[in-house]
Structure 1
């Protein structure tokens, strides 16, 4: 005689997109708790510390170089170059060690290498945006300078920095994981970036053929776009967002393909 009691249905599985969002959110919260401490003050200090360091460097450079190449306020000129440079440098470095940071979680079926990359990109991008807001706000407040900035160009410049950091960081994530010597090599190769990225000078003032050589550095275009957003009189004809996005896309695609093929081998190292 058939039973009237039906078998219990298995619990409904959340959609893949929703599960991915939950995983990324969990990874971001994990990084905040492990890197910045379990209290909110730890994350606040992680924002205030680099902001205070940038303000200190800005004041030191302003004593040595009182006349900026652009505008009338050297701290603002220096910050407009250093903040996007630091955002790229910090985010690309954090993305490049994403699998190393979340190695213990990569064996869970719900966690993918792309989730780890995305979580590190988002949490560190938010941090850099807050740092930039504090530094720019403090300089404008204390110096009393009046600026008519372009918020679209300013946001676009930082977005270019984030996208470039994602591309370079993803490719380096593969290279650093399988070739440990690459970490030291990359640190040596990129050491002159601060000098050749236009942080302390305007690329427009560099004579040829050196100016043409500098254009191959995508950070030159990133810094120029941020400066175009801060100083409304700055034209920056050399800026090519298309070049920055092309470099970011090629490196991101190459890194993504390599990580997709070797992420399990990397997790087992």
Structure 2
């Protein structure tokens, strides 16, 4: 079903799945031009001031945020857009967020491939820590699924949820350290910014994919435990509220 979701998104288009490759490149080019050319932003923190390096640091944040945002923005209409499955008692409705996540993960993997190819072309090598990047994504996956289950069930009864998630993910785009390092902020704000789980995932993603640094496994374990709790709460709320889906849709 996830495969069908990916293919169906580009059905009828001339380039087909090639759009999944060109879309992130286009957005990367636009954001890089605006922030590094127009605003002349520089990363600092001992990182090269080249526009290419800035683009790769920015792109890593976009990959993580895009994976989370796509799942959360689709969650409010997951049940409503699959109303025919609600009537079928044997269909496990709880897998619908997994289908959405699988589709988003495919597009994230394409973007990640682009990032690694660019880095390999420029630096002639990849840091070995890149193999640890999937571990960094584990708490993101768990938290995303928990929020998707909760929002999907809530969206059945409150149709305004979709508008809220769209605004929320847009705020996170600028409040997760995607376009700037957290160290560039005044110290009074840094601790608040680090309360955002996406900030940690994005920073550790850059460390493993670009900077060759091993993630902080103690903090990673703590985030994973919290994400497990979020996933359990989201799944529990979904299972409790699913009994009324058929009466609403």
- TM-score band w.r.t. shorter chain: 0.7 to 0.9
- Aligned CA-pair RMSD: 2.9
Q: 1:36 aligns with which of 10, 14, 20?
A: 10
Q: Larger helix proportion, structure 1 or 2?
A: 2
Matched residue, 1:53? 27
Which residue does the alignment assign to 2:73? Answer: 93
SS of residue in 2 equivalent to 1:192: helix
Distance 1:200 1:191 in 2: 13
Which structure is richer in relative contact order (CA contacts within 8 A, separation 6 or more)?
2
The alignment status of 1:153 with 2:132, answered yes or no, reads yes
The count of aligned residue pairs is 241
Bigger Cα displacement from structure 2, 223-232 vs 30-39: 30-39
The structural deviation recorded for 1:40 is 9.7
- Which residue of the partner structure matches residue 119 of structure 1? 99
Which deviates more, 194-203 or 247-256?
A: 247-256
Cα distance in 2 for residues equivalent to 1:164 and 1:178: 22
* Distance in 1 of aligned mates of 2:59 and 2:81: 30
Specify whether residues 261 and 255 from structure 1 end up closer, same or farther in structure 2 by C-alpha distance, changes over 3 A only: same
Q: Which residue of 1 aligns with 2:205?
A: 226
Where does structure 2 lack aligned partners over 5 or more consecutive residues?
A: none
What are the ranges of 5 or more consecutive residues in structure 1 without an aligned counterpart? 1-26
Matched, 1:249 2:223: no
Per-residue CA deviations over 1:77-133 (Å, capped at 9, x if unaligned) read 211222211221112323443223322223234421122222222222122111221
In the other structure, the counterpart of 1:3 is none
- Cα distance between partner residues in 2 of 1:136 and 1:105: 39
What is the distance in 2 between the residues matched to 1:236 and 1:162? 17
CA–CA separation in structure 2 for the residues paired with 1:198 and 1:158: 17
Q: Distance in 2 between matches of 1:130 and 1:177?
A: 32
Deviations 1:1-50 (A, max 9, x none): xxxxxxxxxxxxxxxxxxxxxxxxxx224423543316895333234323
Q: TM-score, normalised by structure 2?
A: 0.81
Residue 76 in structure 1 maps to residue 51 in structure 2: no
| Structure showing greater Rg | 1
Structure 1 residues 164-203: aligned runs within 5 Å: 164-203=143-182
- Call closer, same or farther: CA 1:76–1:51 in 2, change over 3 Å: same
Quote the residue 1:106 is aligned against.
86
